Structure 1
Amino acid sequence: MPVPEAPVVPVPERSGGGLFGGKKRLEAENAQLREWVERLGGLDAMQITAATELLRAEQARLQVAIQDADRRLREIEAQIVQTEDVALLQEVGVYEYQHPLGDAVAYKAKLAEVKDKIKSMARAGQAVLGATNWTVNGSAAEGRRMVRDFSKLMLRAYNAEADNCVRTMRPYKLQSAIDRLSKAGEAIVKLGKTMHIHVSDDYHRLRVYELQLTAEYLAKVEEEKEQVRAQRERQREEEAARREFEREKARLRKEESHYRTALAKLLANGDTAGAEELKAKLEEIGAAVAVVEAREANIRAGYVYVISNIGAFGENVVKIGMTRRLEPEDRVRELGDASVPFKFDTHALIFSDDAVSLEGRLHDELRERRVNKVNPRREFFYATPAEVRDLLEKIAGQHLLEYRDVPEALEWRQSVHGAAPAV
C-alpha cells in the first residue's frame, strides 16, 4: 500500500487578512491532518514510519509558521495606540498633578509661555532636523531646499497630530495622547530616513509638556468649578437658614407683642393671677428668642443628619450632612426634591453646638468607606444606619434626638410592587 501524501499546509501570508485569519486556517489544517492519520490504519510498519516522519516535518513547518505569525502580531499590536474612551476610563485612577500650580489662571499663563516657545523653535528651524549634505543633481543648494521642504511637510503632519491631541484632551486621555504623538514622531523618522529627517528631542519634549499642562489645566478648571458649586450650595443653605431665623424671630416678637398687650389689660383690670401667667409666658418667649439669636450668631451650631435613599443608591449607603436650619427636615426634603427619583429617609438627627466638627469627625471615621473617594464634598458612605448610630453614641454621647434603623422608603417600595400612579 503506498504511503498517502501528506496534506499541503500553506504557511500564513505576511500581509492582508492572512495574519488575523490564521487561527481558522490552522484549525482547518488540523482537521486535514486528523483525517490523514485516520487513513494510516491500514498501513504496515514501514509505511507508518515514513508517514510519521512526514508528519513530524509538517509539524515543525507549522510550528515555525505559527511562531512567525505570533511575532508579526506582536509587532502590529505594539504599533496600536488605545484611543477608545471606554477602555481608557476603565484604567483611569485618581488624577495626580505632575506640575502642580496654584490655580487654572497659573496653568493658562504657563501654557501661553509654552506655546510661544513652540512657535519660536519652529521659526528657528529647531523643531525638525534633517541631512545637511544632501544634493540634488549635484547641487547642494537644491539638496538643502528639498530637505527643507520635506522637513516642513513632516513638521506640519507632526503639529497637526499634536494640535489634535491638545484639542481633544481629557485628563484621562493624557498617556494615550503622548503615545499617539510619539508614534507620529516615529513615523516621521521612517518616512524621512533617507534624508535623516526627524523631530528634535527638545521639540518633542516641549509638545509633550504642553499635553501634560493641558490635561492639568482642564483638571484644575473642573476642580475649581466643583469648589464654586459647593460654595454656592453653602451660601444657599446659609441664606435659607438666615431667612428661617428671621421668620422665627418675627413670629416670636409678634407673639410677645400680643402677650404684652394682654398683660397691660390684665394689670389695668387688677387681675394679678392672670398677669402672673402672662409674665411667665413672656419669659418663655424671651428665652426662645435668645435661643434663636444664639443659633443665628453661632455659625457652627446645627443638626447633623444621617439619611438614606434605598431606591436611588441601594442598601447600606447613607449620606451624612449638616444643616443650620431650625427645622432640619426642611433640608432633607430639599435634597430629595429633584436630584433623585425618591425621597430621602431620615435615620438620625443630632443637635450640637459644634455640628461642623461633629460632621467632620464622622466623615473621618468613615473615610475608607466613601462612595466618592475623589470629591470629599460628596457625603455618601458605604455604611448601615446602625453603624453610624454607634459612632454617634461614641463621639457625641447621649444627644441623639431621633433614630430609625429601617428606612420607610414608601415611594420606592410602592414603585417596586407596581403601585398605580397617583392622579
Structure 2
Amino acid sequence: MLLESFALYEPKFKLTSSQEYKARLDHVRDRQKVLIKNGQAATGNMNWTVNNSQAQGRKLVNDMIKLVIRSFNNEADACVANVKFDNVELGEKRILKSFEACNRLGKIMSVEISGVYLDLKLDELHLAHEFQIKKQEARRKGRGKTGPGRAARAAEARARDSRGARENRQGAEALHYGNARPPGSS
C-alpha cells in the first residue's frame, strides 16, 4: 500500500520553492561525484592478485567497483527520472534492492557501495519527488493568477468559433439573397 495515495507522504526536505529544490539536487549530485572521484562511493579488497600480479589484481577490483557503481547508478537514475507524485516509495524500494544486489554481486572481492552513497541516492530521489510536487503547485498557482482555467478557455474558444461560423453563414446568405432576382426578370 502506497502512502502517497492517501496523502500521507511526509516531505523529507521542507524547502519553499522549486528553485531551492533544484539547487539542493545539484548539490547532492555534486557530492556523489566527489565520493566517486575520491574512491568513497564504493570500496573493495585491493589485496587481490591476478597472474601473480598485485597491479592486475587492483585493476580487476577497480573495474569491478566501476561496474557495481555504474549498475547501481543506472537503476537509481531511472528511478529518479521517472519519479512522480505517487510512486516515490516504489523508487525507494528499487534503489534499495539494487544496492543489495550490487553489494551481493561484489561480495567475493569485498566490493561494496557505501551507505553514504546510498543515502545520497535516496536523497536525490526524494528531492526530485518533492521538486515535482513544488513545480506542480507553482503551475496550479500560476493558473489561478493568469485568468480562467483550461476548461473556461476552451469554452470561450468554442463560443468564438460558433460566433464566427454564424457570421460567415449570415454573410453567405446575404450575398446569396442579394444576388437573387425575382422570377421572370432577366
Superposed displacement of residue 154, structure 1: 1.1
Extract unaligned runs of 5+ from structure 2.
Answer: 157-186
Other structure's SS at 2:87 match: helix
Aligned counterpart in structure 2 of residue 227 of structure 1, from 117, 133, 141? 141
Other structure's SS at 2:39 match: coil
Q: 1:140, 1:226 → 2: CA distance?
A: 60
1:104 equivalent in alignment to 2:18: yes
Count, aligned residues: 152
1:196 equivalent in alignment to 2:110: yes
- Kept after mapping to 1: 8 A contact 2:4/2:85: no
Matches within 5 A, 1:303-342: 338=155
1:92 equivalent in alignment to 2:5: yes
Aligned counterpart in structure 2 of residue 120 of structure 1, from 34, 42, 46? 34
1:178 equivalent in alignment to 2:92: yes
Deviations, residues 120-157 of structure 1 (Å, cap 9, x unaligned): 11111111111122222332221111100111011111
Matches within 5 A, 1:3-82: none
Superposed displacement of residue 338, structure 1: 3.8
Q: What is the identity, as a one-letter code, of the residue corresponding to 1:149? A: D
Deviations, residues 53-94 of structure 1 (Å, cap 9, x unaligned): xxxxxxxxxxxxxxxxxxxxxxxxxxxxxxxxxx85x96222
1:169 equivalent in alignment to 2:83: yes
Deviations, residues 264-311 of structure 1 (Å, cap 9, x unaligned): xxxxxxxxxxxxxxxxxxxxxxxxxxxxxxxxxxxxxxxxxxxxxxxx
Q: What is the identity, as a one-letter code, of the residue corresponding to 2:102? A: I
Extract unaligned runs of 5+ from structure 1.
Answer: 1-86, 237-333, 340-423
Q: 1:113, 1:91 → 2: CA distance?
A: 26
After superposition, the Cα gap between the structure-2 partners of 1:91 and 1:218, relative to the gap in structure 1 and judged at 3 Å, is: closer
Matches within 5 A, 1:256-405: 338=155
Q: Which has the higher contact order (CA 8 A, sep 6+)?
A: 2
Superposed displacement of residue 171, structure 1: 2.4
Q: What is the identity, as a one-letter code, of the residue corresponding to 2:10? A: E
- Kept after mapping to 1: 8 A contact 2:4/2:87: no
- Kept after mapping to 1: 8 A contact 2:41/2:113: yes
Name the residue aligned to 1:205.
119
The Cα RMSD (Å) is 2.2
Q: TM-score, normalised by structure 2?
A: 0.75
Superposed displacement of residue 225, structure 1: 0.6
Matches within 5 A, 1:223-262: 223-233=137-147
Other structure's SS at 1:142 match: helix
1:214 equivalent in alignment to 2:128: yes
Higher relative helix content = 2
Q: 1:110, 1:187 → 2: CA distance?
A: 28
Q: 1:226, 1:142 → 2: CA distance?
A: 58
Give aligned-pair identity as a percent: 36
Q: 1:221, 1:200 → 2: CA distance?
A: 32
Q: What is the identity, as a one-letter code, of the residue corresponding to 1:116? A: D
Other structure's SS at 2:6 match: coil
